[in-house]
Amino acid sequence: MVNEIKKRLRKLGNKERAEVSRRYFKTGPGEYGEGDIFLGIPVPELRKLAKTYRHLTLKDTTKFLQSPIHEERLLALLILIHIFSAGDESIKKEIFDLYLNNTRYINNWDLVDASAPYIVGAYLVHKSKKALYRLAKSEDLWERRIAIMSTFKFIRQAEFSETLKIAEILIADKEDLIHKAVGWMLREVGKRNVQIEEQFLRLYYKNMPRTMLRYAVEKFPQAKRQLYLAGII
């Protein structure tokens, strides 16, 4: 089965698209995706494959998750979401643990964003959130992004406290990809309850990185948005 999937992936690959992906996902020396390998496969094709192979064993799915090829890792995560969604509590726990034990392979923003809410967030809905705080304080960029992006699951259920607490931890983060993720999640809170978002912003907006604030207030009326950006709310 593994070889069959690999053959299908390579048939779907495109050299020109792969080159674009290498630039887009910053794979050059010193960049956040340094050295990553792309085949050049559109995400919708990977989603189709994930549905086709949603009954792949966890052992074989893990082989793809630990692949040096970006699309194989993304495919593995999409398959894990299918297995997680259909599984009982023991399967969900196994996949949650598998995910957290392999964060070094979930090492670009698309991999995190496509999976963290649907595995980590989904598993923790009615459980202790301690794992998120450990991730939020990690030295690893991607683990910190997993922490904030996992809370998207809670936001969709109109539960905002974990997002705000983790956003507070990450206010002073040095990485632009964290600024964007935190700002995005604050904006999602605001789409559901703008008063709660503004309560948070009024406490912290003057200390936020510019990108984080810009993302957070993106959906505000123009006049209010400009006041926040000017620091005069």
Architecture in CATH of 1-126: Up-down Bundle (1.20)
Q: How far apart are the C-alpha atoms of 40 and 134, rounded to whole Å?
A: 34
Q: Is 107 helix (H, G, I), strand (E, B) or coil?
A: coil
pTM above 0.75, yes or no: yes
In sequence order, what are the residues at sequence separation of 6 or more whose Cβ sits closer than 8 angstroms to the Cβ of residue 18?
38, 39, 40
Q: Which CATH class is domain 128-233?
A: mainly alpha
Cα–Cα separations (whole angstroms), residue 1 to 35, 53, 56 = 27, 9, 8
**Domain residue spans in the chain?**
1-126, 128-233
Measured in residues, the chain has a length of 233
Task: Report the pLDDT value the prediction gives residue 76, as an integer from 0 to 100.
Answer: 98
Segment 169-178, tens digit of pLDDT: 999 999 999 9
Q: Would the CATH topology of 1-126 be identical to that of 128-233? A: no
In whole angstroms, give the CA distance from residue 138 to residue 204: 22
pLDDT in the model for residue 106 = 98
Q: What is the pLDDT of residue 233?
A: 79
Q: Residue 65: CB partners within 8 Å, gap ≥ 6?
A: 72, 73, 76, 77, 80, 98, 102, 105, 106
Amino acid at 71: E
pLDDT string in tens for the chain (233-residue length): 899 999 999 999 999 999 999 999 999 999 999 999 999 999 999 999 999 999 999 999 999 999 999 999 999 999 999 999 999 999 999 999 999 999 999 999 999 999 999 999 999 999 999 999 999 999 999 999 999 999 999 999 999 999 999 999 999 999 999 999 999 999 999 999 999 999 999 999 999 999 999 999 999 999 999 999 998 87
Q: Tell me 206's DSSP state.
A: G
Q: Counting Cβ atoms within 10 Å, is residue 131 exposed (0-12), middle (13-18) or buried (19+)?
A: middle
